[in-house]
Structure 1
Amino acid sequence: MTTTDHRDHRPLDDRPLDDRPLDDHSLQEFGYRQELHRSLGRYASFAAGFSFISVLTTVFQFFAFGYSFGGPVFFWAWPAVLTGQLMVAACFAELAARYPISGAIYQWSSRLSTPAFGWFAGWIMVIGQVVVVAAAALALQMVLPALWSGFQLIGHDPSPVSADGAANAAVLGMVLLALTTLVNLVDNRLMSAVNRIGVTAEIIGAALIVVLLLTHAKRSPGITFHTGPATQSGLFGALLVGSFTAAYVMIGFDSAGEMSEETHRPRRTAPRTMITALGAAGLLGGLVVLGGLLAAPSLTDGHLAVDGLSYVLTSSLGDGVGRVLLADVVVAIAVATLAIQTAACRMLFSMARDGQLPFARKLARVNPRTGMPGAPAVVVGVLAAALLLLNFASPDAFLAIGTTCIVMLYLAYAMVTGPLLLRRLRGEFTATGTDETGAPLFSLGRWGIPVNALALLYGLVMTVNLAWPRAAVYDPAGGHWYFRWFTVLFLGVTVALGAAHRAYRARTTAIEPETAEPVPA
C-alpha cells in the first residue's frame, strides 16, 4: 500500500519502516519521502553553518566599512551582535530538533503560525539568500586584486567603492557563481567535500591570522575604546553603524537546519552544529577584528577605512605571508558562496515541493543519481548574477546589496522567533521528545521564554537599524536617493511580488485551509 504526501500527493517510499534507514522516519512523519541523499555527518553539518557565516569572507568584506564609520570602537558591536544571534540560534536549535526538514525558516514559521505567514517568511528568506549569494561573490574584489594586480580586469582602481572596482567585482563574482552553480549540479558528496575542505582551511587560516596579527600588535586593546576621527554621530551612532559588520558576518548559521534532510541523525546533530558554528565563527571573527586593529600600521592614514584587513596583512606581515593568507581568504569566499547558494537551493526546493512557487514541479525535481535539485541551483545562480549587474550602475550598489540581504534574513528570522514566542506564552510549545539516539531533544527549558523574547527584540531592533535610510551610509556622494531607500524599496517589491503570486494562485488553484499545524508534544 502506498502512502501519499499530504501536500502534493506524490507517492512516498513504501518500504516497511523496519527496512528503512532510521533517518528516513522523520521525513515520513511530516508527509515527505526521502529524495535528497543523506551523506552529511556532524562535521559536514557544522561546515554548512560555518561556511555560510564565513568569517574571513565577511570580515574582509566589511571591516573597512565598520572602521570608517565607527573607528576602533566598532569592535564592541561584535560581542553585542554575537550575544543576540546566539539567542536566536538557541531558539532555532529547538526547532531544528523538532522539524528536521529542508527549507527550515519556511517550515518552522509555517508550523508555528499559519501556512500564509510561513510562506512569506520563506519567500523573504529565499530572496534574501539570493542577495547574500551575490554579496558574497562580490567579496572577491576585496582580496584578488590585492593578491595579484592581474585580477583587476577592468580599469586600474581596485577599491570596491570606485567605478573600476565595482565593475571588476561584478565580473569576478559572475565567474565564481558559474563555478558554484556547477558544483551544486554535480553531487552532494562533492559539495560536502568542497565545503569541509574549505572550512578546515578557513579555520586554520583564521587562527593563523589571529596569532600573527596579535604577535605583530603595535598598540594595546585599550584602543578599542576610541572612536575614529571621521565619527560624527557620537559613540552610540558609531556602534549602531559599526554593528553592520558583525551583523553581516553572523548570519546563516541556520544552514545546518537547511541541510537536515541530508544529515545523519539530524534531530541530534543540527541543533548542536548550529550553535557550535555560530560560536566558533563569532570567537574567531572577533579576534580577527581585534588583531587587525592592534596590528594596523596606522589608524589615521586612511588605508584602514578603504582597504581594510587586506592592507593590514600585506603591510604588517610582509608581502609573502600576507599573500598566502589572502589566498586562504579566496578559498573561504568561494566556499561561502557555494554554501549560501546551496542553502538557497534547499529553500526553493522545500517550498516548491509543497507546490508553493511558480514552476514548482521543475524546482522540486531531484536527480536520483546526484541527490541534488538541479533547477534551483541554476535559478539562484542566474538571479544572483543579475544582481551583480547593479555594480556596473554605481559603486554604491555594493553596500546597498550587502545591507539588503542582512535585513531580509533578520526579518525572516523574526518571523520565526515571533510565532515561537507566542506558542510559548500560550503553553503550546513543550520540551518533551527524544532524538534518534533516545536522548531528550535540545531544549531551553525554563529559559525558553526570556531567551526567545530577547531574541525577538534584538532581531527587530537590528532590522530597523540596518534598514534605516542613513544618507551618510547609503548615499554619501548624494544624487542617488534610491540607494538610500534601496533596502526598504527592495523589501517592498519582494512582498508585493509575493502577494501578487499568492493572489494569482488563489484564483487558479484551491488553497488549503490556513490553520497552524500543532507543534509535536
Structure 2
Amino acid sequence: MVVIKRHGFQEDGPSTHHESSIDDRDMQRMALPAELRRRFKLASVIGFACISGATWEWALVSSQGGLTNGGSGAGVIWIFLAVMIGMFTVVLSMAEMASIAPSAAGQYMWVSELGPPGAQRLLSYFVGWFAAIGWQGAAASNPLVLAQHVEALVALNNPTFEVKGWMTSLLMIACAALATFVNIYGIHFLSSLEAIMLALHVVGFFAVLIPLWLMGERSSTHDVFFTFEDNAGWGNIGTACLVGLLGPIMTLIGGDSTVHLGEEIRDASRTLPLSMVFTSLMNYAVGFIMTITVMYVSSNFDQTIADATGESYVAVIYAATGSKTATTILTVLVLVLFFCTAINTVTTSSRQLFAFARDGGLPFSNILAKVDSRTGLPINALLTTFGVTFVLSWIICGSSIAFQNITSITIVGLLLSYGTTIATMISRRWSGVPLPAARWRYPQAFGYFVNVLALCFVTIAFIFAYFPTAPDPSAESMNWSVVVTVAVVVVATVYYFIRASSTFEGPAVRMKKAEDDSMVAMEDIVVRGKQ
C-alpha cells in the first residue's frame, strides 16, 4: 500500500517532505522558479512515457514501409533490433543527465552545464532551437496520423470514398484542438488519465497481436529472419539497411518525452531516470514483438484495400480476420491510442517551448514563458503549439509531401539535440572535471562506454536521416530534410544576432550568477553575525 500511495497515478495529496526537499534543492541549484505544479508520480510518468512512445502502434503502422530497404522481413527485424540497442544507449545517457538537472529544458540545459564554458552558450542555444522545433514537428505530425486513420476507416467501409486535402486539414485541426483542450481543461485528471491510457495501451497490444498470430497466414521463419532484399535498388544490402534505419528510428525516437516534465514530477531526480529506462525496455520489447508479427503475416494481403485506405496494416488485419467489422474495431482502437499519444505530445512540446522561452531563446519569449497562476500551466506555450499545427495543417491542401518534409525536422532536430548533449557529456568525462552530483550515476567506465556507443549510433542515424528512400529520387520523393535543417539554422542565427544575443546567456550562466549571489548573501550573514 505504501508503494501504491507513493508511486501511484493519483495526484491528490502533498508530496512527502523528503521528495519536496529534494525537488526544491534541485530547483534552487538550477536557479529556476517553481512555477509548474508537480502532478506526476512514478506510475503516471511510466504511463505517460509508454503512451508517448506508442512503440507497438508505430511498429504496426510503419513496419510495412521498411520492406523497401532491407527485404521481406529480415532487414526490417534486424534493423529494428540494431536501432533498439542504439536508442537504448541514448536513453541511458539522457537518464543520467536527467538526474543531474531534472528540468523542462532538457537537452539544451545539459549542454549548457556540461559543455565547455566558452562554447556552452551557442551550443545550448542551437540545441534549444532544434529540440523545440523538433517537438513542434512531432505535435503537428500526430494529428496527421489521426486524420489518416479516420479516412482509412471511412475508406474501409465505403470503397467509393475519395480523400480531399481539405478534409485532412480539417481533421488535423480538430484532433489538435481536442488534444490541446484536454491539456488545458483536463490537467487536473491528466495524471489519472495516464492510468486508463496505459491500460488501453496494454490491452490493445494483445487485442491486435493475438488475432494476427491465430488467424493470419504466416510466412516461413527463414524468409522472415534470414531473407534480405534491396528492393529500392541501392545495389548493396548494407546501404539499403542503413537507409532503412529511418523507419525504426521514427518508431523509437522520443526518449526525452518525459524529460520535459521534469518540473512537474515528484522526486524528479530519481523518478525521471528510472521511468525513462524502465519504459524504454518495455516499449522496445512490445515494439519488437509487433514488428516480428507484422513481418510474419504481411506476405498475403489485399493491395486494393491497402491502396484504398492508405494504411497497409489495415489490409494486413483484414487479411488475417477476414472481417470488416473486426478490422474496423481494431483500427478504431489504434486510432484512440494515437489520440492519447497526441495528448502527451502536446504536453511535451509545450513544456520544451515554455522552457526555452523562459531562458530567452525564442521570439516573444516573455509571452511564451508565462505560467497561468490558477492552473500552473504554460497556457501560451500550449496555444502556440496548437497554432503551429493549425498553420502547418493547411499545407496538406497543397502537398502532403511538403508537410512531411517540413515535419521531418522532428527526427533530425531530436537526433541533433541528443548527439550534441551526449558529446558534451563525453567531453566532460574526458576533461577530468567531476560531473555534477546525481542520484542516478554510472561507473566511469560504463558511462564512457554507453556515451560513446550512443554518440556513434546517433551520428550514423543523423547522416542517413538525410537519405532518400531510393536512389535517383524525383523532386517529390527527394528527402528535403537538409533544406529544413539549413532553414532552422539560418532563422536561429538571424534571431541570435538580432535579439537572443542579449536575452539568452545559457542556463549555466544563470546558475553561476545564482550561486554567486547565494555566496554573497551567506557572507553578509556571517559578517552581520560577527557584528
Aligned to 1:6: none
**Cα distance, 1:401–1:512 mapped onto 2, change above 3 Å:** closer
Equivalents in 1 of 2:166, 2:228: separation in Å? 32
The yes-or-no answer on 1:407 pairing with 2:412 is yes
- Distance of aligned partners of 1:303 and 1:203 in 2 relative to their CA distance in 1, 3 Å threshold: same
Q: Choose which of 381, 389, 402 in structure 2 pairs with 1:384.
A: 389
1:75 corresponds to which residue?
A: 77
Aligned counterparts, 1:478-489, within 5 A: 478-480=474-476, 484-489=478-483
Alignment of 1:505-516 (within 5 A): 505=499
Q: Which residue of 1 aligns with 2:522?
A: none
8 A Cα contact 1:54 1:333, kept in partner:
yes
1:367 to 341, 356, 372: 372
Q: Normalized against structure 1, the TM-score is what?
A: 0.85
Partner of 1:96: 98
Of 334-343 and 353-362, more deviation after overlay is shown by: 353-362
Which whole-Å CA distance do the structure 2 matches of 1:320 and 1:300 have between them? 16
List gaps (5 residues or longer) in structure 1.
1-16, 159-163, 435-440
Contact 1:109 1:118 in 2 (8 A): yes
Deviates more, 1:239-248 or 1:90-99: 239-248
Distance 1:83 1:18 in 2: 35
Q: Which moved more, 1:193-202 or 1:378-387?
A: 193-202
**CA 1:283/1:402 → structure 2, altered by over 3 Å: closer, same or farther?**
farther
Question: Is this contact kept in 2: 1:131–1:387, CA < 8 A?
Answer: no
Q: What is the aligned partner in structure 1 of residue 470 from structure 2?
A: 472
The equivalent of 2:176 in structure 1 is 177
The separation in 2 between residues aligned to 1:377 and 1:22, in whole angstroms, is 28
For 1:128, give the aligned amino acid.
G
The amino acid of 2:246's aligned partner reads F
Report the secondary structure of 1:148's partner residue.
helix
Q: Do the aligned partners of 2:209 and 2:293 also contact (CA within 8 Å) in 1? A: yes
User: Which residue of structure 2 aligns with residue 8 of structure 1?
Assistant: none
The verdict on how the C-alpha distance between 1:229 and 1:503 changes in structure 2, with shifts beyond 3 A counting, is closer
Distance between the aligned counterparts of 2:96 and 2:377, measured in 1? 27
**Alignment check: 8 A CA contact 2:61 2:311 kept:** no
Q: How far apart are 1:503 and its partner, in Å?
A: 0.6
* 1:383-408 Cα distance to aligned partner (Å, 9 max, x none): 12222222222242354245332111
Specify the alignment match of 2:272 in structure 1: 270
Amino acid at match of 1:336: T
The answer to whether the Cα contact below 8 Å between 2:48 and 2:194 also exists between their aligned partners in 1 is yes
Shift, 1:238, TM fit: 3.0
Listed one character per residue, the Cα deviations across residues 72-95 of structure 1 (whole Å, up to 9, x for unaligned) are 222221110010000000011101
What whole-Å deviation, never above 9, does each CA across 1:253-300 have from its counterpart, x for those lacking one?
A: 212221111111111111011112222111111111211121236179
Q: Cα gap change, 1:231/1:355 in structure 2, threshold over 3 Å: closer, same or farther?
A: closer
Residue pair 1:143, 1:310 contacting (<8 A) in 2 also:
no
Q: Match for 1:425 among 412, 430, 440?
A: 430
- The residue type paired with residue 209 of structure 2 is V
2:312 aligns to what?
308
Counterpart-to-counterpart distance in 2, 1:157 and 1:460: 41
Aligned-residue identity in percent? 22
Amino acid in the other structure paired with 2:465 = L
Distance 1:54 1:152, change over 3 A: farther
TM-score between both structures, scaled by the size of structure 2: 0.83
Output the CA distance in 2 between the equivalents of 1:185 and 1:139.
22
Provide closer, same or farther for how the CA distance between residues 251 and 300 of structure 1 changes in structure 2, counting only shifts above 3 A.
same
Q: Offset at 1:142?
A: 4.2
Matched, 1:230 2:231: yes
1:438 aligned residue: none
Greater displacement, 211-220 / 43-52? 211-220
2:377 aligns to what SS in structure 1?
Answer: coil
Aligned partners of 1:456 and 1:181: how far apart in 2?
34
- Corresponding residue pairs, total: 485
| 1:240 maps onto 2:242 in alignment | yes
Which residue identity does 1:173 align to in structure 2? Answer: M
Q: Describe how 1:142-157 pairs up with structure 2 within 5 A.
A: 142-149=148-155, 156-157=161-162
Q: Deviations over 1:348-399 (max 9, x none)?
A: 1112222332222221111122121100111111112222222222242354
Aligned equivalents of 2:304, 2:290: Cα separation in 1: 20
Gaps of at least 5 residues in structure 2 are: 1-16, 516-531
Of 127, 131, 147 in structure 1, the residue corresponding to residue 133 of structure 2 is 127
CA distance change for structure 1 residues 67 and 297 in 2, over 3 Å: closer, same or farther? closer
Contact 1:52 1:339 in 2 (8 A): yes
Check the 8 A contact 2:156/2:305 in 1, yes or no.
Answer: no
Kindly state the Cα deviation for residue 346 of structure 1 after the two structures are TM-superposed. 0.8
CA shift, 1:319, in A, is 2.6
1:248: how far off? 0.3
SS at match of 1:255: coil
1:18, distance to aligned residue in structure 2 (A): 9.8
| Alpha-carbon distance, 1:182 to partner | 1.4
CA separation in 1, counterparts of 2:379 and 2:156? 34
In 2: Cα distance, 1:112 partner to 1:442 partner: 15
1:437 aligned residue: none
In 2, the alpha carbon distance for the partners of 1:62 and 1:92 equals 26
Is residue 359–residue 506 contact of structure 2 (8 Å, CA) maintained in 1? no
Match of 2:451? 452
Letter in 2 for 1:310: V
CA distance, structure 2, for counterparts of residue 213 and residue 390 of structure 1: 36
The offset of 1:507, in angstroms, is 6.9
Q: Which amino acid aligns with 1:443?
A: Y
Q: CA deviation at 1:152?
A: 8.8
> Which shifted more, 501-510 or 195-204?
501-510
Q: Is the 8 A contact 1:167 1:392 kept in 2?
A: yes
RMSD over aligned Cα, in angstroms? 3.1
2:519 corresponds in structure 1 to: none
- Structure 2 distance, partners of 1:304, 1:222, is 26
